Amino acid sequence: MIGPDRPNPLIYGDFDRMVTVVVRGERFAVPEGIPLIRALQYMQFELGRLTCDWSLFCFNDTIGCCACKVRKPGADEAEGARACCLRVEDGLEVVRMPRSARVLPSALSLAEAELARGASDGPDDPGGAP
């Protein structure tokens, strides 16, 4: 069944489980073994946590338009990669995103920011009640 727990296999392919990737220090569960560029789309369209202008990408390894930097599991150093060619694995870390891709704050972190702003700004109606 397709749904939040079972993403559409026509888009993300067949997979057996979810793996954790780290993007800009935050952990995301994505389908195992899909290309990183698809995992980023999963983060955008299924999780609502990424924005990207996909019209900038060729999707077929021609011009390096998806260049990024990753640290593979167990590696000490980050290395350059193409997001359309690299398949995600558990513990993969994206240390530099492809161009225009940006992680969005979660609804929870937005709510926390709003609460913090409200706590520091004081009441919304400075005139107060009569």
Please identify which residue in 82, 94, 101, 103 interacts with ligand FES, judged by CB under 6 A.
82
How many residues in the shown chain lie near ligand FES by CB under 6 A? 12
Q: Is 57 in the site for ligand FES (CB under 6 A)?
A: yes
Please identify which residue in 30, 40, 66, 97 interacts with ligand FES, judged by CB under 6 A.
66
Please identify which residue in 9, 48, 64, 80 interacts with ligand FES, judged by CB under 6 A.
64
Matching residue, tokens 């690299």: 86
Q: Determine the 3-state secondary structure of 43 from DSSP.
A: helix
Least distance (Å) from ligand FES to the CB of residue 83? Answer: 6
Q: Beta strand pairing status for 50-51 and 102-103?
A: antiparallel
Stretch that binds ligand FES, among 4-12, 40-48, 58-66, 115-123 (CB under 6 A): 58-66
CB 108 within 8 A of CB 91: no
